Structure 1
Amino acid sequence: MTADDGTLLDLVRASDGSIVMDGARLTAADLALQARATAVALAARGVGPGDAVVLVDDGSGAELLRCLLAAWSVGARAALVSGTADEAEVAAVVRQTGASLLVRRSPRASDGANEVAFRDLSAQHASAVPPGGCAPDDIALDVASSGTTSAPKCVSYTHRALRANVEAIGRRLHLTPDDVLYSPLPLSVAGVLCMVVLPGLRAGATIHVGRLASARVAAAHGHIQLARPTLLYAVPYVYDLLSRKRGASVYDRLRWAVCSSSPLPAPTFDRLWKHLGVPLRNAYCLAEAATVTLNTCTDPDEIRETVGTPLDGVEVAVEQDAESGAGPEGRLIIRGTSCGLGYRQDGRLVPFSGGEVRTSDLGLLRNGLLTVTGRSDRVIQVAGRNVDLSLIRRAVAACPGLGDFEVVADQHPRLGAVPVLLAEARTLTVPAARVMAFCRTVLHPADMPREIRVLDELPRTITGKVRTAAGGVNAAAGTTPKPHHDGRGDGR
């Protein structure tokens, strides 16, 4: 059996690495021993092979990681939920996964749910052998999608699939025991577990995990100064927050700055490159297919414009629209070892058709390098014409002084779906009227945003991604925006 065929639990137990969370350092051996004790407590509560456990990251830190390993030790699977999730979102994950136990720092016992506190799973029976165990083809994680473009869904992954993905990431980044990996994002972000914690433990490296909120950027900067990481993992919004912190560079040892996003506009990308001393490396990550590609190119243009080449064992295909005919762009189809099994629905697994993930992302492949160009589900009908919100966003991104923004669809009482531009006040340095004037120079009249809403803060997920689903637009409408209309009547 190769390393790629083992379980994630095997990976942790064999590791010489360590992890720093909540100010305390734990070796992988310490973590495995604690997890063994917690597994006894889980088994005592009836959790066993095939069961699901939902773990809420509400400030629990190392306790959450210990409980995750304990769930694997008894053959169960786990779902990690952000501590910022509301009760409806937590209940949706419990319902979708069919979880038999919900674990968080302060149980609320709402609606008779089977809940327990992390502290109550600290069994003192470390010498006892936990029942069950896990095999490579057992399900390890039910990963919840971010909910940026639709309602969150849970995707099931086997140990084998995630182990192969973790091994491929480690090989691509050439991680060694001398590396120090840091992410200011919380453990409930799937990318932190699969791009930082597990690859770091695989390499025997040191891992630091935080829980960044915008108000705690100074604290995160201090953590980076202490850790002096060789790899930093975040999303562009968080990198932007960190880059605004002035003072001596804390990135003198940095080899890799990885972010899971599409490439940034060139001015933003170059500013962050200068600040960090290394370029941002884009990874194409999906809730349905883990890490698909990772950019380790050396050519500056390829670094800026692409998300790199597929990882070992992953295939990306471009399905072109038969009606539109020629052109290299098409819908992205993912196959191979990184793919999840399917979605969870009321505890049942609904497998992906054909074992492949048919995304709503559009992209193209050149010389093996993937460029993500937009989303097929970001197309709306305006006055009988297809309007691609992704193309509007790309054109408007060149507007000087615009700062952080997003283009979303909103419902007009007479016109139906219309484009609306959301701009964040703290980064907008020009009047909204000037932005609208710029839009008129680069957009077809039918593509023009119906209005510009200047918000105190864009509606974001825990990772800083802007919510473009209806819920995000509604949330934006509730933040007292300052609208600027395009000046046309409702006849349009």
Structure 2
Amino acid sequence: MAFVQQDSLVDLIRSSRGVVVVDHRGLGAEDMEDGARRAAAYLRARGVCRGDGVVLVDDGGGAELLMTLLGAWWLGARAMIVAATDDAREVDSAVAATDASVVVRGQPTGQGSEVAYRSVLTGSQPLTAAPECGPSDVALDIATSGTTGTRKYVSFTHGALLANVTGIAKRLSLTRQDRLYTPLPMSIAGVIGMLLLPGMLAGSSIHLGRLGGVRIAQSHRQLEATRPTLVYGVPYMYELLSGQSRSVDFDGLRWLICSSAPLPSSTFDRVWQRFGVPPRSSYCLAEAGTVTLNTSDDLEVVRNTVGEPLDGTTIRTEPADSASAGRIVVSGPSCGLGYRTGGQVDLFPSGEVWTRDLGMLERGLLTVAGRVDDVIQVAGTNVDLAHVRSVIGRCPGLGEFALVAADHGRLGRVPVLLVVAGTMSTTVRDVLHFCRTALRDVEVPREVRVVTEIPRTATGKARLREEYGR
């Protein structure tokens, strides 16, 4: 299917025949344009101009957030969507890093720059002026997960996002007959970039569940009501959904897309059995959007790789110390500009994103092998935590776990295994026995900690650096 080339994301939405269903409300292009004009008028009255930053907190209605986002784009402003959280530092950090002049949220705290979504959408008459944004204007500032280091913020232009969403829609052969669904909150960048915008480009119906966290397990009701042809999610989400015994008919489902990280083999099998179609891994980066999509008909390719790069995207690998795989380097028109600090963007050198991921390219297919950070030295011997994690995942009765590296006074960095108490059907002694049988001495976790829960980001990634010295 051929898609009409657009100059901005606002043009994409205005010309779309798609419908966004959020908070039990269906929004077509006319509805979103009316809301965007109202939001643009309010934001302009607050002094927001082309190039300014606006932070949107995902703690109110999804329709209100979406129309405010479009209103910011209408003015040529850039937006950043922040997860709802009790930690005010998350919002403060986003404001400082993106130099935002306005913060919009469902429940303002009373700070001077904060306003309510309701005020934004009801406080002004619709703006009559034409959109002011173009391909080179920055549309989104996207935060990295922060699980492997200090959180950074990446700036994406309208042109880059248009290139990415067009590549996604083409690769998945999306049409007006498709029904796209995710239970994830809108603060997850992939919800906007990999689901909403490609769906609107194709004229599909897009259903946003906005659950997140452990509430993802409740999404079976939404799945029954939506009967999607495509589901977008992350490993933690599929882990939760695949463990349910509730019977659901997924007739018509074409694609199960998993971003953030490849699924472990055992989870892959459970998801396939649960949904009736194999899950497809994609390689996604906060710095480059969706890089690959696995749409192969070859089951071995589906199971073991993250697929081929999208059209226009280039991947290569560079030698990495202490690793058999190479460091993944990405370039192309859909990449971000660089990391933003306040009003400045530190551009990626030569437009290339040098990731911390390790991978192998064979016949154009990418296999993700781990991270540079996953290779540690234990008593002077290299230990690949990705390999250790994969082996431990086969331990019978282990349940939910995370493998981290902690400082050891004599051995350097050592593996430490965290296991969630309520999910175990075995003992710590048996777990250690399995590890000693299946792993080298230096790879065996020096400690097994039984915990009540593992702290996670909104996408389900284990957030462990501060807590466990990773």
Give TM-score scaled by structure 2 length. 0.95
Name the CA distance, whole Å, in 1 between partners of 2:64 and 2:418.
38
Q: What code does the residue aligned with 2:89 have?
A: A
The answer on whether the counterparts of 1:57 and 1:64 sit within 8 Å (CA) in structure 2 is yes
Corresponding residue SS for 1:101: strand
- The Cα shift of 1:377 comes to 1.6
Name the CA distance, whole Å, in 2 between partners of 1:135 and 1:3.
16
Using the TM superposition, name which of 122-131 and 268-277 deviates more. 122-131
CA deviation profile, 1:386-435 (whole Å, cap 9, x unmatched) = 33222221222222222322211123455543211112233322212111
Counterpart of 1:20 in structure 2 is 21
The answer on whether the counterparts of 1:334 and 1:357 sit within 8 Å (CA) in structure 2 is yes
Q: What code does the residue aligned with 1:183 have?
A: T
Name the CA distance, whole Å, in 2 between partners of 1:311 and 1:42.
36
Q: 1:132 to 1:280 in 2, by over 3 A?
A: closer
Counterpart of 2:327 in structure 1 is 331
The answer on whether the counterparts of 1:84 and 1:462 sit within 8 Å (CA) in structure 2 is no
Q: What code does the residue aligned with 1:307 have?
A: V
Corresponding residue SS for 2:68: helix
Q: What code does the residue aligned with 2:229 have?
A: T
- The Cα shift of 1:128 comes to 3.4
Counterpart of 1:168 in structure 2 is 167
- The Cα shift of 1:51 comes to 0.1
The answer on whether the counterparts of 2:159 and 2:334 sit within 8 Å (CA) in structure 1 is no
CA deviation profile, 1:338-361 (whole Å, cap 9, x unmatched) = 210000113311111111000000
Q: 1:256 to 1:85 in 2, by over 3 A?
A: farther
CA deviation profile, 1:218-274 (whole Å, cap 9, x unmatched) = 642111111110000111211222233333314222110101043323222111101
- The Cα shift of 1:439 comes to 1.2
Counterpart of 1:90 in structure 2 is 91
CA deviation profile, 1:258-309 (whole Å, cap 9, x unmatched) = 0104332322211110100111110100000100001101111111110000
Corresponding residue SS for 2:458: coil
Corresponding residue SS for 1:185: coil
The answer on whether the counterparts of 1:4 and 1:164 sit within 8 Å (CA) in structure 2 is no
Using the TM superposition, name which of 442-451 and 48-57 deviates more. 442-451
Name the CA distance, whole Å, in 2 between partners of 1:388 and 1:96.
33
After superposition, the CA RMSD in angstroms is 2.0
Corresponding residue SS for 2:100: coil
- The Cα shift of 1:337 comes to 1.6
The answer on whether the counterparts of 2:262 and 2:282 sit within 8 Å (CA) in structure 1 is no
- The Cα shift of 1:125 comes to 4.8
Counterpart of 1:38 in structure 2 is 39
Q: How many aligned positions are there?
A: 468
The answer on whether the counterparts of 1:148 and 1:472 sit within 8 Å (CA) in structure 2 is no
- The Cα shift of 1:372 comes to 0.1
The answer on whether the counterparts of 2:10 and 2:73 sit within 8 Å (CA) in structure 1 is yes
Q: 1:364 to 1:5 in 2, by over 3 A?
A: farther
Counterpart of 2:468 in structure 1 is 473
1:242-281 to 2 correspondences below 5 Å: 242-281=241-280
The answer on whether the counterparts of 2:182 and 2:207 sit within 8 Å (CA) in structure 1 is yes
Runs of 4 or more off by more than 6 Å in structure 1? none
Name the CA distance, whole Å, in 2 between partners of 1:379 and 1:79.
33
Name the CA distance, whole Å, in 2 between partners of 1:206 and 1:464.
26
Name the CA distance, whole Å, in 1 between partners of 2:200 and 2:6.
17
Q: What code does the residue aligned with 2:73 have?
A: W
Q: 1:214 to 1:186 in 2, by over 3 A?
A: closer
Name the CA distance, whole Å, in 2 between partners of 1:134 and 1:181.
27
Counterpart of 2:444 in structure 1 is 448
Counterpart of 2:319 in structure 1 is 320
Q: 1:42 to 1:425 in 2, by over 3 A?
A: same
Counterpart of 1:304 in structure 2 is 303
Name the CA distance, whole Å, in 2 between partners of 1:15 and 1:5.
11
1:350-365 to 2 correspondences below 5 Å: 350-365=346-361
Pair 1:204 & 2:197 matched: no
Q: What code does the residue aligned with 1:84 have?
A: T
Pair 1:463 & 2:464 matched: no
Name the CA distance, whole Å, in 2 between partners of 1:170 and 1:131.
27
